[in-house]
Amino acid sequence: MLTNVPSFDRIGEENAFAVLARATELTRQGRDIINLGIGQPDFPTPPHIVEAAVKALRDGHHGYTPATGLLPLREAVAADLHRRHAVEVSPERVMIVPGGKVTMFMAILMFGEPGAEILYPDPGFPIYRSMIEFTGATPVPTPIREANGFAVSAEDILGLITPRTRLLIVNSPANPTGGVTPAAEIDRLVAGLARHPQVAVMSDEIYGQMTYDGLQHRSLLSYPELRDRLILLDGWSKTYAMTGWRLGYGVWPDGLYDKARKLVVNSFSCTNAPTQFAGMAALEGPQDAVARMMDSFDARRRLVTDGLNALPGVSAQTPKGAFYAFPNIAATGWRSKPLARALLEDAGVATIGGPDFGIHGEGYLRLSYANSADNIRLALDRIAAFLARAMPPTGKASD
Ligand code: PLP
């Protein structure tokens, strides 16, 4: 049959988009839904960034750009990485792409094939596993544990590496847990990786500027010994509230950069030109809007954590980064996905069940606090009322 393409039986999705669609549908039906499901800042893109794109269009930037991105933008990325991490990055190693996701797509496509093993965080961003399975490679989850503050464990990762391991994916600050891996643990991981020179590393640092309490994110870029096998994933979506613009970048090592360029040429040709001008304005313009957004996230982070911990059967660590809380709900008697479903359908609060981020996500929910303080308070009230009135389903749940 024409529609029978077996490799597509293995590709997954992001349930956050399905929850968003359902929440939108319920709203359309007249229901009052508070969306704590979707992972995007609820702030508008700062006006000077929007203006830069409008100006680019007015100035006639309507054509293709170089496949790897405009040189001034790649230079701005290199300067930004130097400012943030005190590292030298050549603009010739920066690949501009439409969104953070594209770099992971290309990296996993490059290394994934039957027989290869790829390590990825679980719970973690669902596209890692989906793409690994799509390539026919073996996905090897590296558990991200609450008991470890949702940090990456160097010991766990190093213990899972085999001669077949081709790629290691790490993510800090992390989705969905809000965990941030301490610098000392990253030191241990990098030291251990010296024994496994066949393993490439993709570090997803899209939340790198979103940490709290003065905590500093340690970039894997800051380890010279790793640079010839490190792919850095970053972008504008979260830091500058630009999810819909589709703008991200990868920093690729010498030997892989041209392969990535060929994937660009074979797929989208180049990233949208005015969006690239917006990206330049974001990096080179004032950063006060980013600071204001983070202050606001910080206040909501405390609000959501305190509120969750006041709920019967729920306990939540204070997130150290990103804008997600990942409460443990096991003691409510509910399993994660039925609870997330019931909260949406019965209580009008959209959240995501932990298992949508991997097998180690059972017993947790992800709440995005990219919503107003008033809505967060109201959502917590609704969850409290729901837990007080509804009993967990009995019998063996199917999910
Ligand atoms: N990496 C992580 C960990 C994310 O959470 C996300 C988005 O939610 C992405 C990458 C993708 O970002 P983008 O929207 O720029 O493709």
pLDDT tens by residue, 31-57: 999 999 988 999 999 999 999 999 999
Lookup result for tokens 């997803």: 204
Residues 185 and 334 occupy one common structural domain: no
pLDDT tens by residue, 278-314: 999 999 999 999 999 999 999 999 999 999 999 999 9
* Substitution site in 172, 207, 237, 268 for ligand 1 pocket (most atoms within 8 Å of beta carbon): 237
pLDDT tens by residue, 99-120: 999 999 999 999 999 999 999 9
Is 397 domain-assigned? no
Residues 75 and 158 occupy one common structural domain: yes
* Whole-number Cα distances in Å, 184 to 124, 244, 303: 21, 35, 29
**Distance from the CA of 175 to the center of ligand 1, in angstroms?**
8
Q: Kindly tell me if the per-residue pLDDT of 398 is higher than 80.
A: no
**Per-residue pLDDT, 394:** 78
The CA distance from 308 to 222, in Å, is 36
| H helix intervals, the chain | 15-28, 47-58, 71-85, 100-111, 126-135, 154-160, 183-193, 254-266, 273-284, 288-309, 336-347, 373-389
Pick from 338, 311, 341, 342: nearest CA to 327: 311
What residues pair up with 138 in beta bridges, in sequence order?
Answer: 117
Is 396 domain-assigned? no
Q: Kindly tell me if the per-residue pLDDT of 397 is higher than 70.
A: no
Q: Kindly tell me if the per-residue pLDDT of 66 is higher than 70.
A: yes
The CA distance from 395 to 81, in Å, is 53
Within 10 angstroms of residue 153's Cβ, the number of other Cβ atoms is 18
The CATH number covering residue 379 comes to 3.90.1150.10
Residues 109 and 15 occupy one common structural domain: no
* Average pLDDT of the residues in 71-75: 98
Q: Verify whether ligand 1 is closer than 6 Å to residue 39 (CB atom).
A: yes
Q: Kindly tell me if the per-residue pLDDT of 199 is higher than 90.
A: yes
* Average pLDDT of the residues in 362-369: 98
The CA distance from 189 to 253, in Å, is 19
* Average pLDDT of the residues in 327-338: 97
* Whole-number Cα distances in Å, 158 to 76, 110, 162, 266, 333: 35, 22, 9, 35, 35
**Distance from the CA of 205 to the center of ligand 1, in angstroms?**
9
Domain end: 263, 284, 305, which one? 284
* Average pLDDT of the residues in 314-326: 98
* Whole-number Cα distances in Å, 83 to 26, 89, 208: 45, 11, 13
**Per-residue pLDDT, 1:** 65
The CATH number covering residue 95 comes to 3.40.640.10
pLDDT tens by residue, 209-259: 999 999 999 999 999 999 999 999 999 999 999 999 999 999 999 999 999
Residues 221 and 306 occupy one common structural domain: no
pLDDT tens by residue, 129-153: 999 999 999 999 999 999 999 999 9
Position 348: which residue type? G
Residues 34 and 95 occupy one common structural domain: no
Cβ atoms of 66 and 261 within 8 Å: the answer is: no
Domain end: 237, 259, 284, which one? 284
pTM value? 0.96
Residues 185 and 279 occupy one common structural domain: yes
User: Phi and psi for 263 in degrees, rounded to 5?
Assistant: -65, -40
Lookup result for tokens 């994110």: 217
Handedness of CA 329, 332, 335, 341 (dihedral sign): negative
**Per-residue pLDDT, 271:** 98
Q: Verify whether ligand 1 is closer than 6 Å to residue 175 (CB atom).
A: yes
Residues 139 and 126 occupy one common structural domain: yes
Q: Verify whether ligand 1 is closer than 6 Å to residue 204 (CB atom).
A: yes
More confident of the two residues 4 and 209:
209
Q: Verify whether ligand 1 is closer than 6 Å to residue 208 (CB atom).
A: no
**Distance from the CA of 24 to the center of ligand 1, in angstroms?**
21
Is 379 domain-assigned? yes
**Per-residue pLDDT, 257:** 98
**Per-residue pLDDT, 395:** 60
Is 177 domain-assigned? yes
Residues 112 and 30 occupy one common structural domain: no
Q: Verify whether ligand 1 is closer than 6 Å to residue 358 (CB atom).
A: no
**Per-residue pLDDT, 396:** 53
Is 242 domain-assigned? yes
Is 224 domain-assigned? yes
**Per-residue pLDDT, 399:** 60
Domain end: 268, 284, 300, which one? 284
DSSP-assigned letters across all residues of 61-73: --S---TT--HHH
* Average pLDDT of the residues in 349-360: 97
The CA distance from 124 to 36, in Å, is 18
Q: Verify whether ligand 1 is closer than 6 Å to residue 248 (CB atom).
A: yes
Is 395 domain-assigned? no
pLDDT tens by residue, 14-34: 888 889 899 999 999 999 999
Residues 206 and 260 occupy one common structural domain: yes
Residues near 284 by beta carbon (within 8 Å), at least 6 away in sequence: 76
Residues 265 and 117 occupy one common structural domain: yes
Residues near 247 by beta carbon (within 8 Å), at least 6 away in sequence: 96, 98, 99, 235, 236, 237, 271, 272, 275, 276, 278, 279
Cβ atoms of 175 and 39 within 8 Å: the answer is: yes
Range of the domain at 351: 6-44+288-388
Mean pLDDT, the chain, whole residue set:
96
Residues 140 and 260 occupy one common structural domain: yes
**Per-residue pLDDT, 15:** 85
Pick from 277, 306, 262, 329: nearest CA to 56: 277
3-class DSSP state of 202:
strand
pLDDT-derived band at 2 (thresholds 50, 70, 90) equals: confident
Residues 98 and 188 occupy one common structural domain: yes
- Nearest residue (by CA) to ligand 1, atom 5, is 175
The CA distance from 336 to 340, in Å, is 6
CA-based max dimension of the chain: 64
* Substitution site in 150, 152, 175 for ligand 1 pocket (most atoms within 8 Å of beta carbon): 175
**Per-residue pLDDT, 7:** 84
**Number of structural domains in the chain:** 2
